[in-house]
Amino acid sequence: MFILAHVTAPDANLALVLKVLPALVVILITAAICGRLATMVMQPRVLGEMVAGVLLGPTLFGWLFPDAQAALFPPEVRPILYVLSTIGLTLYMFLVGAGLDHSARTPGEVRKASVLAASGIVPSLLLGFGTGLLLHSLLSRPDVSPFQFALFVGGALSLTAFPMLARILYERGLENSPIGRLTLLAASIDDALAWCILAVLSAMHIGTGATGALPTIGLTAVFAVVMLKFVAPLLRPMGRTVARTGRLGSGAMYAVILIPLAAGWVTDWIGVYSVFGGFVAGLAMPRDPKFREILHGRMMEVVSTLLLPTFFTFSGLNTQLGGIAGGGMLLAFGLILLAGFCGKYFGCATAMRGIGFSWRDSYAVGALMNARGLMILIFINIGLAQGMITQELFSMLVLVAVITTAGALPLYKLALPDRLERIRVADQGPQERVEARSNP
């Protein structure tokens, strides 16, 4: 009798669980189906998962079945999905940072990554800025100046889909190849700078001026130094213990969960998205290969299968693709797409060739860096929420994100076919750039 009364009595927590679990079931089923379909058409599984998130939002599911979507994702469920998605992305980028093979660095890799990062952000920023100035009168809100509007467009186009890029490299086994490490490092720099631009724009929009973002930039640099120079040495004994015993004990498991979550909280508090806190926490992890292998074995599948699709769906729920009608709007969209594509693709390819890679490797990296994924969706959702951009520009930039991301892998495979890719996968250390001479 007591049990029956307990179950039937109103319980807000139980009611919330009974709403969250069906949402997660639908998210995982949809992500699995779309991920499988993506691989069938030669796209990375992560692109299918991203599309699944958008389809579950108002773009398709909410348009066709508004009542069903409202029942599946009611307002009280969305904060739970937000928390899960933030945890998932933070832990995933932690695993990406922890998985980088520090010992496999080639001489001058940091310098080369900086050159690649500059080639990825500067042309995109300039082309996007110029396009923004041209389109200000058509697409901007009246209370946003031409400079702020143009800088926002340039900042959005300078982003690289860091999590998606990492996922593609991991799926193809290239994360520790020379081009894989350079691309990840350069993308992390590009995205960090883009978020600094967003911090400046937010400060300007709320009236504190560009100098209002200086504390954010300074605190981010201090955080990175503390993690890499002070926290990292304290974690080395843990790495040796795990490598010696072959298992993550309870104490080590607490550490590898607590550190990235705390780092994500700190960077969120600073004003930089938690993804960078997770990544820097990963870089601070012990460098022992055995430790990395055990860590990934324990965490990667759960994070990538459960938590990342939740992140994609939450972003999709906040994404509304409005129609782009009329010649002026189509022309504006074409200009934005052209500026975004050319800035990243040709800028990065030219830089890679200039630092000694073959044209094939260079165009492969240009294709990967050109993917924007959901990082740009997060960027523009913030801009829309803060009243910096219009719904029309938001819709155009969503389409830019989808098109550039969908084109990344085909362009990559065009530059680096399977036969040549297998050579890069097999050679995870410094490699001779023979193709630089044989494939002009």
* Domains identified in the chain and CATH numbers: 12-426 (1.20.1530.20)
d(CA 401, CA 93): 20
Helices marked H in 232-288:
232-245, 250-270, 274-283
What long-range pairs does 167-174 form, CB within 8 A, spacing at least 24? 167/44, 167/45, 167/46, 167/304, 168/44, 168/46, 168/368, 168/371, 168/408, 168/409, 168/412, 169/368, 170/96, 170/99, 171/44, 171/45, 171/46, 172/421, 172/425, 173/425, 174/421, 174/424, 174/425
d(CA 214, CA 203): 10
Closest to 434 (Cα-Cα) out of 369, 382, 357, 342: 357
d(CA 366, CA 354): 13
Q: Which residues contact 191 (CB under 8 A, 6 or more apart)?
A: 159, 160, 162, 275, 276, 375
What is the structure's pLDDT at 229?
Answer: 93
In this structure, the number of other CB atoms found within 10 A of the CB of residue 243 comes to 16
Closest to 164 (Cα-Cα) out of 264, 296, 55, 49: 49
Closest to 407 (Cα-Cα) out of 349, 319, 337: 337
In this structure, the number of other CB atoms found within 10 A of the CB of residue 337 comes to 18
d(CA 135, CA 268): 32
What is the structure's pLDDT at 144?
Answer: 86
Tokens of 299: 């965490």
Q: What is the DSSP string of 296-349?
A: HHHHHHHIIIIIHHHHHHHHHHT-------SHHHHHHHHHHHHHHHHHHHHHHH
Q: State which H helix or E strand residue 422 sits in.
A: helix 418-426
Secondary structure of the chain: what % helix, strand, coil (to 5)?
80, 0, 20
Q: Which residues contact 276 (CB under 8 A, 6 or more apart)?
A: 93, 188, 191, 192, 195, 220, 267
What is the structure's pLDDT at 440?
Answer: 34
* 431: exposed, middle or buried (Cβ count in 10 Å: 0-12, 13-18, 19+): middle
Q: Does residue 311 contact residue 90 with C-beta atoms inside 8 Å?
A: no
Query: Averaged in consecutive runs of 10 residues, what is the pLDDT profile of the chain (440 residues)?
Result: 46 86 94 90 80 84 88 91 87 81 61 86 92 90 88 90 74 74 82 76 65 75 91 92 86 91 89 80 88 86 84 78 69 92 92 87 89 78 80 84 85 82 60 35
